[in-house]
Amino acid sequence: MFRSEKKIKRGFSPIYLAILSGILLLILIINGFLEINRTKNGFYLFLEREASVLFQQLEKNIQETLSSLELLESTKGKPFLNPSLSGFLFGLEESIAEYFVEAAHRVDQTDGEKPLTPSDLRSLTEQYLLTSIEFYDPKGNLLKSWSSLSSPIEKDLLLRELISKKRSVAIDFFNKPFTQDHWFSVAIRRNASPGIIALHLDGEQMKRLFRQFSIQRAISDIGLGEGALFISVQDDYFNIIGHTDPSLIGKREEDPFLKSSLQSNRPLSRLYHSAGGEEAFEVAKSFSFKGKTLGLIRIGYSPKEIHPILRQIMKNVALSIFFFLILGGSAITLIWVNQNRHLRRMKEMEDRI
Protein backbone atom coordinates (compact mmCIF):
# COMPACT_ATOMS: atom_id res chain seq x y z
CA MET A 1 0.00 0.00 0.00
CA PHE A 2 1.35 3.36 -1.02
CA ARG A 3 1.40 5.97 1.60
CA SER A 4 -0.08 9.22 0.46
CA GLU A 5 2.52 11.94 0.41
CA LYS A 6 0.07 14.52 -0.82
CA LYS A 7 -0.77 17.08 1.81
CA ILE A 8 -4.21 18.38 2.20
CA LYS A 9 -4.37 21.95 0.99
CA ARG A 10 -5.82 24.59 3.18
CA GLY A 11 -9.09 26.10 2.07
CA PHE A 12 -9.80 29.69 1.19
CA SER A 13 -7.91 31.91 3.62
CA PRO A 14 -9.95 34.38 5.71
CA ILE A 15 -7.25 36.95 4.98
CA TYR A 16 -8.44 37.13 1.40
CA LEU A 17 -11.99 37.47 2.59
CA ALA A 18 -10.97 40.29 4.92
CA ILE A 19 -9.21 42.08 2.06
CA LEU A 20 -12.29 41.67 -0.12
CA SER A 21 -14.48 42.98 2.69
CA GLY A 22 -12.19 45.97 3.14
CA ILE A 23 -12.45 46.77 -0.56
CA LEU A 24 -16.25 46.53 -0.42
CA LEU A 25 -16.27 48.74 2.68
CA LEU A 26 -14.11 51.34 0.93
CA ILE A 27 -16.47 51.28 -2.07
CA LEU A 28 -19.41 51.75 0.28
CA ILE A 29 -17.79 54.77 1.93
CA ILE A 30 -16.80 56.36 -1.38
CA ASN A 31 -20.30 55.80 -2.74
CA GLY A 32 -21.72 57.51 0.36
CA PHE A 33 -19.59 60.60 -0.15
CA LEU A 34 -20.45 60.64 -3.85
CA GLU A 35 -24.14 60.47 -2.96
CA ILE A 36 -23.71 63.46 -0.61
CA ASN A 37 -21.97 65.45 -3.35
CA ARG A 38 -24.62 64.50 -5.91
CA THR A 39 -27.36 65.64 -3.55
CA LYS A 40 -25.60 68.94 -2.79
CA ASN A 41 -24.89 69.64 -6.45
CA GLY A 42 -28.48 68.82 -7.38
CA PHE A 43 -29.78 71.18 -4.70
CA TYR A 44 -27.50 74.03 -5.80
CA LEU A 45 -28.44 73.42 -9.43
CA PHE A 46 -32.09 73.74 -8.45
CA LEU A 47 -31.35 77.07 -6.73
CA GLU A 48 -29.46 78.31 -9.80
CA ARG A 49 -32.43 77.49 -12.02
CA GLU A 50 -34.81 79.23 -9.63
CA ALA A 51 -32.50 82.26 -9.58
CA SER A 52 -32.43 82.31 -13.41
CA VAL A 53 -36.23 82.69 -13.47
CA LEU A 54 -36.03 85.59 -11.01
CA PHE A 55 -33.20 87.16 -13.02
CA GLN A 56 -35.38 87.21 -16.13
CA GLN A 57 -38.31 88.79 -14.29
CA LEU A 58 -36.22 91.38 -12.46
CA GLU A 59 -34.10 92.28 -15.48
CA LYS A 60 -37.26 92.78 -17.53
CA ASN A 61 -38.69 95.05 -14.82
CA ILE A 62 -35.47 97.05 -14.62
CA GLN A 63 -35.34 97.51 -18.39
CA GLU A 64 -38.96 98.68 -18.39
CA THR A 65 -38.09 101.09 -15.59
CA LEU A 66 -35.16 102.57 -17.51
CA SER A 67 -37.29 102.87 -20.64
CA SER A 68 -39.97 104.70 -18.64
CA LEU A 69 -37.35 107.07 -17.24
CA GLU A 70 -36.16 107.90 -20.76
CA LEU A 71 -39.75 108.44 -21.84
CA LEU A 72 -40.36 110.62 -18.80
CA GLU A 73 -37.40 112.81 -19.72
CA SER A 74 -38.72 113.19 -23.24
CA THR A 75 -42.07 114.48 -21.93
CA LYS A 76 -40.24 117.35 -20.17
CA GLY A 77 -41.99 116.87 -16.89
CA LYS A 78 -45.47 116.39 -18.33
CA PRO A 79 -46.14 112.68 -17.92
CA PHE A 80 -49.88 113.17 -18.35
CA LEU A 81 -49.14 113.65 -22.07
CA ASN A 82 -48.26 109.93 -22.19
CA PRO A 83 -50.79 107.67 -20.41
CA SER A 84 -48.31 104.78 -20.27
CA LEU A 85 -46.28 106.75 -17.71
CA SER A 86 -49.13 107.16 -15.24
CA GLY A 87 -48.71 103.60 -13.96
CA PHE A 88 -44.94 104.01 -13.70
CA LEU A 89 -45.18 107.24 -11.71
CA PHE A 90 -47.98 106.03 -9.48
CA GLY A 91 -46.76 106.47 -5.92
CA LEU A 92 -43.11 107.06 -6.85
CA GLU A 93 -43.11 110.83 -6.45
CA GLU A 94 -45.02 110.53 -3.19
CA SER A 95 -42.58 107.89 -1.91
CA ILE A 96 -39.57 110.07 -2.74
CA ALA A 97 -41.19 113.10 -1.12
CA GLU A 98 -41.91 111.10 2.05
CA TYR A 99 -38.32 109.86 2.02
CA PHE A 100 -36.97 113.42 2.02
CA VAL A 101 -39.42 114.66 4.62
CA GLU A 102 -38.21 111.83 6.86
CA ALA A 103 -34.59 112.72 5.98
CA ALA A 104 -35.23 116.35 6.98
CA HIS A 105 -36.61 115.22 10.35
CA ARG A 106 -33.56 113.01 10.92
CA VAL A 107 -31.28 115.97 10.14
CA ASP A 108 -33.29 118.07 12.58
CA GLN A 109 -32.99 115.43 15.30
CA THR A 110 -29.24 115.00 14.72
CA ASP A 111 -28.63 118.75 14.88
CA GLY A 112 -30.71 118.96 18.05
CA GLU A 113 -28.52 116.36 19.75
CA LYS A 114 -25.28 117.99 18.56
CA PRO A 115 -24.97 121.05 16.29
CA LEU A 116 -23.90 119.98 12.81
CA THR A 117 -20.67 121.35 11.38
CA PRO A 118 -20.12 122.16 7.67
CA SER A 119 -18.30 118.83 7.38
CA ASP A 120 -21.30 117.04 8.87
CA LEU A 121 -23.66 118.79 6.46
CA ARG A 122 -21.50 117.77 3.53
CA SER A 123 -21.59 114.13 4.63
CA LEU A 124 -25.38 114.28 4.92
CA THR A 125 -25.77 115.67 1.40
CA GLU A 126 -23.73 112.77 0.08
CA GLN A 127 -25.70 110.27 2.16
CA TYR A 128 -29.11 111.50 0.98
CA LEU A 129 -28.06 112.45 -2.59
CA LEU A 130 -28.71 116.14 -1.97
CA THR A 131 -27.32 119.32 -3.48
CA SER A 132 -27.67 121.45 -0.37
CA ILE A 133 -28.94 121.59 3.22
CA GLU A 134 -29.98 124.91 4.74
CA PHE A 135 -30.98 126.01 8.24
CA TYR A 136 -33.15 129.12 8.76
CA ASP A 137 -34.51 130.95 11.77
CA PRO A 138 -38.31 131.31 12.14
CA LYS A 139 -38.24 134.53 10.04
CA GLY A 140 -36.42 132.90 7.10
CA ASN A 141 -32.92 134.24 7.78
CA LEU A 142 -30.17 131.78 6.78
CA LEU A 143 -28.26 130.42 9.78
CA LYS A 144 -25.98 127.82 8.23
CA SER A 145 -25.83 125.71 5.10
CA TRP A 146 -23.73 123.55 2.83
CA SER A 147 -24.12 123.44 -0.95
CA SER A 148 -22.23 121.81 -3.79
CA LEU A 149 -23.24 124.68 -6.11
CA SER A 150 -22.05 128.25 -6.27
CA SER A 151 -25.27 129.58 -7.79
CA PRO A 152 -28.19 130.24 -5.38
CA ILE A 153 -31.39 128.20 -5.45
CA GLU A 154 -34.75 129.92 -5.74
CA LYS A 155 -36.38 129.17 -2.40
CA ASP A 156 -38.48 132.23 -1.49
CA LEU A 157 -41.72 130.52 -2.47
CA LEU A 158 -40.84 127.43 -0.47
CA LEU A 159 -40.06 129.43 2.68
CA ARG A 160 -43.17 131.53 2.24
CA GLU A 161 -45.27 128.36 2.39
CA LEU A 162 -43.92 127.68 5.85
CA ILE A 163 -43.66 131.19 7.26
CA SER A 164 -46.74 133.00 6.00
CA LYS A 165 -49.13 130.06 5.64
CA LYS A 166 -48.02 128.47 8.91
CA ARG A 167 -47.49 125.06 7.33
CA SER A 168 -45.27 122.38 8.85
CA VAL A 169 -44.06 120.90 5.53
CA ALA A 170 -43.55 122.41 2.07
CA ILE A 171 -42.80 120.20 -0.97
CA ASP A 172 -41.75 121.32 -4.43
CA PHE A 173 -41.28 117.98 -6.22
CA PHE A 174 -43.96 117.20 -8.76
CA ASN A 175 -44.29 117.46 -12.55
CA LYS A 176 -40.77 118.70 -13.27
CA PRO A 177 -38.28 117.43 -15.87
CA PHE A 178 -34.96 115.91 -14.82
CA THR A 179 -32.78 118.82 -15.97
CA GLN A 180 -30.08 120.81 -14.20
CA ASP A 181 -32.10 124.04 -14.25
CA HIS A 182 -34.99 122.52 -12.28
CA TRP A 183 -34.82 122.01 -8.53
CA PHE A 184 -36.64 119.68 -6.20
CA SER A 185 -37.01 120.85 -2.62
CA VAL A 186 -38.48 119.90 0.75
CA ALA A 187 -38.69 122.16 3.81
CA ILE A 188 -40.00 121.44 7.30
CA ARG A 189 -40.53 123.34 10.52
CA ARG A 190 -38.05 122.16 13.10
CA ASN A 191 -39.00 120.21 16.21
CA ALA A 192 -35.66 120.34 17.99
CA SER A 193 -35.60 124.16 18.01
CA PRO A 194 -37.46 127.06 16.33
CA GLY A 195 -36.61 127.40 12.66
CA ILE A 196 -36.74 125.74 9.26
CA ILE A 197 -34.67 123.06 7.49
CA ALA A 198 -34.66 122.92 3.68
CA LEU A 199 -33.27 120.14 1.47
CA HIS A 200 -32.59 120.64 -2.27
CA LEU A 201 -31.50 118.38 -5.13
CA ASP A 202 -31.09 118.91 -8.85
CA GLY A 203 -32.63 117.08 -11.78
CA GLU A 204 -29.78 114.61 -12.20
CA GLN A 205 -29.97 113.55 -8.59
CA MET A 206 -33.75 113.29 -8.85
CA LYS A 207 -33.30 111.01 -11.86
CA ARG A 208 -31.00 108.76 -9.82
CA LEU A 209 -33.57 108.62 -7.04
CA PHE A 210 -36.36 107.74 -9.47
CA ARG A 211 -34.20 104.91 -10.79
CA GLN A 212 -33.36 103.74 -7.27
CA PHE A 213 -36.96 103.82 -6.03
CA SER A 214 -38.21 102.16 -9.22
CA ILE A 215 -35.71 99.31 -8.86
CA GLN A 216 -36.63 98.99 -5.19
CA ARG A 217 -40.28 98.72 -6.16
CA ALA A 218 -39.41 96.06 -8.76
CA ILE A 219 -37.63 94.05 -6.06
CA SER A 220 -40.60 94.41 -3.71
CA ASP A 221 -42.99 93.25 -6.44
CA ILE A 222 -41.00 90.04 -6.95
CA GLY A 223 -40.49 89.43 -3.23
CA LEU A 224 -38.40 86.80 -1.52
CA GLY A 225 -39.26 83.20 -2.29
CA GLU A 226 -38.97 80.33 0.16
CA GLY A 227 -35.38 79.93 1.31
CA ALA A 228 -34.21 83.22 -0.25
CA LEU A 229 -32.15 85.52 1.96
CA PHE A 230 -31.86 88.65 -0.16
CA ILE A 231 -32.12 90.24 -3.59
CA SER A 232 -29.63 92.97 -4.40
CA VAL A 233 -29.08 95.23 -7.41
CA GLN A 234 -25.76 97.06 -7.85
CA ASP A 235 -24.63 99.52 -10.48
CA ASP A 236 -21.45 99.08 -12.52
CA TYR A 237 -19.47 100.73 -9.68
CA PHE A 238 -20.80 98.08 -7.25
CA ASN A 239 -22.93 100.59 -5.35
CA ILE A 240 -26.14 99.03 -4.03
CA ILE A 241 -29.11 100.78 -5.68
CA GLY A 242 -31.76 98.28 -4.63
CA HIS A 243 -31.99 95.70 -1.87
CA THR A 244 -34.58 93.75 0.10
CA ASP A 245 -32.89 95.37 3.12
CA PRO A 246 -33.29 99.12 2.37
CA SER A 247 -30.69 100.03 5.01
CA LEU A 248 -27.98 98.67 2.69
CA ILE A 249 -28.87 100.98 -0.22
CA GLY A 250 -26.01 103.34 -0.99
CA LYS A 251 -23.33 101.03 0.38
CA ARG A 252 -20.63 99.50 -1.80
CA GLU A 253 -19.75 95.80 -2.01
CA GLU A 254 -16.94 94.58 -4.23
CA ASP A 255 -14.83 91.41 -4.41
CA PRO A 256 -13.26 89.23 -7.14
CA PHE A 257 -16.42 87.12 -7.48
CA LEU A 258 -18.61 90.17 -8.09
CA LYS A 259 -16.11 91.57 -10.60
CA SER A 260 -16.15 88.29 -12.51
CA SER A 261 -19.96 88.20 -12.41
CA LEU A 262 -20.20 91.74 -13.80
CA GLN A 263 -17.96 90.81 -16.73
CA SER A 264 -19.67 87.47 -17.42
CA ASN A 265 -22.69 86.92 -19.65
CA ARG A 266 -23.94 83.96 -17.63
CA PRO A 267 -24.87 83.54 -13.95
CA LEU A 268 -22.09 82.65 -11.53
CA SER A 269 -22.59 81.11 -8.10
CA ARG A 270 -20.66 80.65 -4.89
CA LEU A 271 -21.04 79.34 -1.33
CA TYR A 272 -19.65 81.76 1.22
CA HIS A 273 -20.05 83.17 4.72
CA SER A 274 -21.32 86.72 5.05
CA ALA A 275 -19.80 89.34 7.35
CA GLY A 276 -22.25 88.23 10.04
CA GLY A 277 -21.04 84.64 9.76
CA GLU A 278 -24.20 83.37 8.05
CA GLU A 279 -23.70 80.78 5.33
CA ALA A 280 -25.26 81.70 1.99
CA PHE A 281 -25.42 80.35 -1.54
CA GLU A 282 -25.34 83.31 -3.93
CA VAL A 283 -26.10 83.53 -7.63
CA ALA A 284 -25.08 86.72 -9.48
CA LYS A 285 -25.67 87.92 -13.03
CA SER A 286 -24.99 91.16 -14.89
CA PHE A 287 -27.85 93.07 -16.51
CA SER A 288 -27.80 95.45 -19.45
CA PHE A 289 -29.90 98.08 -21.18
CA LYS A 290 -29.67 98.70 -24.92
CA GLY A 291 -26.53 96.59 -25.15
CA LYS A 292 -24.66 98.31 -22.31
CA THR A 293 -23.88 96.53 -19.03
CA LEU A 294 -25.33 98.65 -16.24
CA GLY A 295 -24.91 96.55 -13.13
CA LEU A 296 -25.33 93.33 -11.27
CA ILE A 297 -28.26 91.36 -9.82
CA ARG A 298 -27.52 89.14 -6.85
CA ILE A 299 -29.80 86.59 -5.19
CA GLY A 300 -28.81 84.83 -1.98
CA TYR A 301 -30.28 81.59 -0.66
CA SER A 302 -29.97 79.79 2.64
CA PRO A 303 -28.37 76.34 2.23
CA LYS A 304 -29.86 75.23 5.55
CA GLU A 305 -32.65 73.36 3.79
CA ILE A 306 -30.17 70.84 2.40
CA HIS A 307 -28.55 70.18 5.79
CA PRO A 308 -31.26 67.79 7.13
CA ILE A 309 -31.12 65.83 3.85
CA LEU A 310 -27.33 65.60 4.00
CA ARG A 311 -27.46 64.53 7.65
CA GLN A 312 -29.93 61.78 6.75
CA ILE A 313 -27.68 60.55 3.94
CA MET A 314 -24.66 60.54 6.27
CA LYS A 315 -26.73 58.69 8.85
CA ASN A 316 -27.73 56.08 6.26
CA VAL A 317 -24.10 55.68 5.16
CA ALA A 318 -22.96 55.29 8.77
CA LEU A 319 -25.66 52.69 9.46
CA SER A 320 -24.72 50.80 6.28
CA ILE A 321 -21.07 50.76 7.33
CA PHE A 322 -22.01 49.65 10.85
CA PHE A 323 -24.17 46.76 9.64
CA PHE A 324 -21.59 45.83 7.02
CA LEU A 325 -18.90 45.64 9.70
CA ILE A 326 -21.11 43.48 11.92
CA LEU A 327 -22.15 41.15 9.11
CA GLY A 328 -18.68 41.09 7.57
CA GLY A 329 -17.00 40.39 10.90
CA SER A 330 -19.54 37.69 11.71
CA ALA A 331 -19.10 36.09 8.28
CA ILE A 332 -15.31 36.09 8.55
CA THR A 333 -15.47 34.58 12.05
CA LEU A 334 -17.96 31.92 10.97
CA ILE A 335 -15.92 30.96 7.92
CA TRP A 336 -12.75 30.87 10.00
CA VAL A 337 -14.34 28.57 12.60
CA ASN A 338 -15.89 26.27 10.00
CA GLN A 339 -12.65 26.09 8.02
CA ASN A 340 -10.62 25.20 11.13
CA ARG A 341 -13.15 22.51 12.05
CA HIS A 342 -12.98 21.12 8.53
CA LEU A 343 -9.19 21.15 8.57
CA ARG A 344 -9.12 19.30 11.89
CA ARG A 345 -11.37 16.56 10.50
CA MET A 346 -9.26 16.28 7.37
CA LYS A 347 -6.16 15.99 9.54
CA GLU A 348 -7.75 13.24 11.60
CA MET A 349 -8.69 11.34 8.43
CA GLU A 350 -5.16 11.78 7.11
CA ASP A 351 -3.74 10.41 10.33
CA ARG A 352 -6.01 7.35 10.11
CA ILE A 353 -4.97 6.70 6.54
Domains of the chain and CATH, by start: 91-208 (3.30.450.20)
Asked if residues 325 and 318 have their Cβ atoms less than 8 Å apart, the reply is no
Burial class (CB in 10 A: 0-12, 13-18, 19+), 282: buried
pLDDT tens profile 187-245: 888 887 888 888 888 877 888 888 888 888 888 877 777 778 888 999 888 888 888 88
Predicted TM-score (pTM) of the model is 0.67
Check residue 260 and give its pLDDT.
Answer: 92
Section 328-346 average pLDDT:
75
Which of 139-153, 159-173, 287-301 is predicted most confidently? 287-301
Section 146-150 average pLDDT:
73
Q: Specify the DSSP class assigned to residue 133.
A: E
Band of the pLDDT at 15, cuts 50, 70, 90?
confident
What is the DSSP annotation of 257-271? HHHHHHH-SS-EEEE
pLDDT tens profile 159-201: 676 666 677 888 877 666 666 667 788 888 888 788 888 888 8
Asked if residues 324 and 270 have their Cβ atoms less than 8 Å apart, the reply is no
